Chains A and B, each alone.
Chain A
Amino acid sequence: MAKITLDNLAHSYMSNPRGDQDFALKKTTHVWDDGEAYALLGSSGCGKTTLLNIISGLLRPSQGRILFNETDVTYAPTAERNIAQVFQFPVVYDTMTVRDNLAFPLRNRGASSSYIAQRVQEIAKLIGLEDDLNRKARGLTADVKQKISLGRGLVREDVNAILFDEPLTVIDPQMKWELRTQLKSLHHELGHTMIYVTHDQTEALSFADRVVVMSEGQVVQIGTPEELFEAPAHTFVGFFIGSPGMNLLDAQVEGDKATIGATEIALPAGFGTPVGKVQIGVRPEYTRLAASGGLPVKVNRVEDVGRHKIVRAEYFGKAINLIVDEGTEIGTDMTQVVFDPAKVNVYVDDWRVQGEAA
């Protein structure tokens, strides 16, 4: 088990990167605390897998260092790092039985056969494959194969970290939920550092203590699920997390007031007079429709999703989503959106700015 430090790490797949845009992973400095469960969240192609492969040593970074505890392992081969990694698509050794597959990483490390037998049995129980241990891995279905891959990742107890690269993509929803819960309890039990890559926010938020959000090769925010929801540090986080995502509107900000068109909106604190691309961001959960006192919008439609209603509206072509209680009647005269002043965030050039205490 180890604390993993990324020190000014960057990676480009090109041999002569010329600017920022050529980097799959932009300069990142970050410490993964020992024993925490992290989720690495971001859309496809944002550099999550690149970062993971650098940690496990499958990829050598173009710049920067990576340390396990205080040891520099930037150039250490994968085998020396003692890391477990589970890939997106199942990798099994076809000609081996399920038992041999699970035992393989232990055998390669020269563990005793009694220990291997006991450990394989435990893992098989965990992934629900106790009855299939003697079957050949060839010809099993994709989700069983993925469970085997998962099992191989978990079988070593002394690993420095376990990395999961969207491991549940091929597993059906019911089993997905079950395995995720098991992974989480396993984390509590064993205390391994776990990094779980996903593009599914539910998966990320339910698995991890801390979520690392990445966008275009950059870590944009690290925080608890609550922090990501209440105070997204970057417009991408606001937009990416939440369903629907945060409403972002261009505005002029002066002191504790924002102006959109002719409408004044109260802000929770003073922000001075920021320059650049200024936007305010409000979660759909903190908005309501009213007849007056808000931003005049055009309501396009109302979707009833059961627990609540989603109101799809627009303000001069810019979409605004509202989440209102199931019981709320929506009258035809209710064409203005009112924001909860305490929950309005201000963004300058996509980054959140902290208000001065009022």
Chain B
Amino acid sequence: MDKTVNQKAWFLVLPVLVLVAFSAVIPLMTVVNYSVQDTFGDNVFFWAGLDWFREMLESERMWSALGRQAVFSFIILMIEVPLGVIVALQMPKKGFWASFALVVMALPLLIPWNVVGTIWQIFGRVDIGLLGYVLHSLGIDYNYTQGFFAAWITVIVMDVWHWTSLVALLAYAGLQSIPDAYYQAAKIDQASRWAVFRYIELPKMQGVLMIAILLRFMDSFMIYTEPFVVTGGGPGNSTTFLSIDLVKMALGQFDLGPAAAFSLMYFLVILLISWVFYTVMTNLDKRDGV
């Protein structure tokens, strides 16, 4: 049968094109526009070429924010992924308690970022916060507004509290897809608990864990609201991550050019790392297939 040629079909694609143009392409191009121009106000712009990019690449401020950001993402991935898997392994498989566990696990995910920030901000306060007060009374020097470690620990624990659920739920979904016969066969083969995890559960979770790692990496790399509410980037610059720094630059100092250059590079870094993650993991998958 001959295929009908009908150019009108293009009109069906149009809504998507318009939507994507307004939601992504046009805003992005605005940023590109700012990144290559300079202004002294009054809406008068001068061509600046790649100067802002050069300046940003040489800026110690950006590199240290990037460094902090990388350390932060690395730490929370190292905690949340194993912890999420452990939690998923402990969750009941069926019955009332399975549903109960699912609801409890989903709760932190439903709370808006700034509320999470506020909760921990108050929770950790030395004067009225439960955590801060208790630690303080125990004689532990904990004050996230002044101590470097206290601030980092607070921000990390907060992120772990907020997002480990996501990893756990994804891992749980992976575990639920394993047929009983696998566990039965493992019993027959007299496999140890570790062997069951290593050869049955982990391979079946591989796909969802990859998604979990990607999501958690991207999200943590772009984190803004929660640490901003708790520490405001301090003490000093110690918890000033990339987004926080960017907003300071763009809205606090109104340095639109450098901020635009900064955000484009930020975007490319995330894209690049996600791509590397994805490629490495899908290749691992393929290698296994042969």
Cβ of B107 < 8 Å from any Cβ of A? no
- B288 A93 Cβ-Cβ under 8 A: no
Known: A91-B181, A91-B182, A91-B184; 17 extra A-B contacts, CB below 8 A, are A58-B187, A78-B188, A84-B188, A85-B184, A85-B185, A87-B181, A87-B185, A88-B181, A93-B200, A94-B203, A95-B288, A105-B190, A108-B191, A108-B195, A109-B190, A135-B290, A139-B290
Q: Which of B200-222 contact A (CB under 8 A)?
A: 200, 203-204
Cβ of A319 < 8 Å from any Cβ of B? no
Cβ of B74 < 8 Å from any Cβ of A? no
Contacts of B288 in A (CB 8 A): 94-95, 136, 138
* 13 sampled A-B residue pairs with Cβ under 8 A: A56-B188, A84-B188, A85-B184, A85-B188, A88-B181, A91-B181, A93-B203, A104-B191, A108-B190, A135-B290, A136-B289, A138-B289, A153-B188
- B188 A89 Cβ-Cβ under 8 A: no
Task: Map CB proximity to B onto A76-92 as digits: 1 under 8 Å, 0 otherwise.
Answer: 01110001110111010
Majority DSSP secondary structure for residues of A touching B? loop
- B187 A78 Cβ-Cβ under 8 A: yes
- A149 B187 Cβ-Cβ under 8 A: no
- B181 A89 Cβ-Cβ under 8 A: yes
A108 with B192, Cβ < 8 A, contacts A93-B199, A95-B199 known = yes
Contacting B203 at CB < 8 Å: which of A83, A95, A139, A149?
A: A95
Contacts of A192 in B (CB 8 A): none
CB distance from B205 to the nearest CB of A (A): 12
Contacts of A139 in B (CB 8 A): 289-290
Q: What is the size, in residues, of chain B's interface with A at 8 Å between Cβ atoms?
A: 19
Cβ of B189 < 8 Å from any Cβ of A? yes
CB distance from B179 to the nearest CB of A (A): 8
Give bound CA distance, A87 to B195, whole Å: 20
Q: What is the size, in residues, of chain A's interface with B at 8 Å between Cβ atoms?
A: 29
Nearest to B182 among chain A residues (CB) is A91
Cβ of A96 < 8 Å from any Cβ of B? yes
CB distance from A48 to the nearest CB of B (A): 15
- Central interface residue in B181, B182, B185, B203, by most chain A CB within 10 Å: B185
CB distance from A187 to the nearest CB of B (A): 19
Nearest to A110 among chain B residues (CB) is B190
Contacts of B204 in A (CB 8 A): 94
- Which B residues are closer than 8 A to A by beta carbons? 179, 181-182, 184-185, 187-192, 195, 199-200, 203-204, 288-290
Contacting A79 at CB < 8 Å: which of B181, B185, B187?
A: B187
Contacts of A108 in B (CB 8 A): 189-192, 195
Give bound CA distance, A53 to B181, whole Å: 11
Contacts of B179 in A (CB 8 A): 89
Nearest to B188 among chain A residues (CB) is A85
Task: Map CB proximity to B onto A133-161 as digits: 1 under 8 Å, 0 otherwise.
Answer: 00110110000000001001100000000
Contacts of A78 in B (CB 8 A): 187-188, 190
- A152 B189 Cβ-Cβ under 8 A: yes
Give bound CA distance, A135 to B288, whole Å: 9
CB distance from B188 to the nearest CB of A (A): 5
Nearest to B202 among chain A residues (CB) is A95
- A96 B199 Cβ-Cβ under 8 A: yes
Contacting B188 at CB < 8 Å: which of A83, A94, A96, A138?
A: A83
Contacts of B181 in A (CB 8 A): 87-89, 91
- Central interface residue in A95, A135, A149, by most chain B CB within 10 Å: A95
Contacts of A135 in B (CB 8 A): 290
CB distance from B139 to the nearest CB of A (A): 49
CB distance from A193 to the nearest CB of B (A): 15
Contacting A58 at CB < 8 Å: which of B184, B190, B195, B200?
A: B184
Contacts of A136 in B (CB 8 A): 288-290
- Central interface residue in B189, B192, B195, B290, by most chain A CB within 10 Å: B189
Contacts of B200 in A (CB 8 A): 93
CB distance from B96 to the nearest CB of A (A): 15
Give bound CA distance, A215 to B10, whole Å: 63
CB distance from A343 to the nearest CB of B (A): 43
Give bound CA distance, A83 to B290, whole Å: 32
Give bound CA distance, A158 to B64, whole Å: 64
Contacts of B188 in A (CB 8 A): 56, 58, 78, 83-85, 105, 153
For the complex of A and B, the 6 pairs showing the least CB-CB separation, nearest first, are: A91-B185, A78-B187, A105-B189, A108-B190, A93-B199, A79-B190
- Central interface residue in A58, A91, A139, by most chain B CB within 10 Å: A91
Contacts of A79 in B (CB 8 A): 187, 190
Give bound CA distance, A93 to B202, whole Å: 11
Task: Map CB proximity to B onto A94-111 as digits: 1 under 8 Å, 0 otherwise.
Answer: 111000000011001100
Contacts of B203 in A (CB 8 A): 93-95
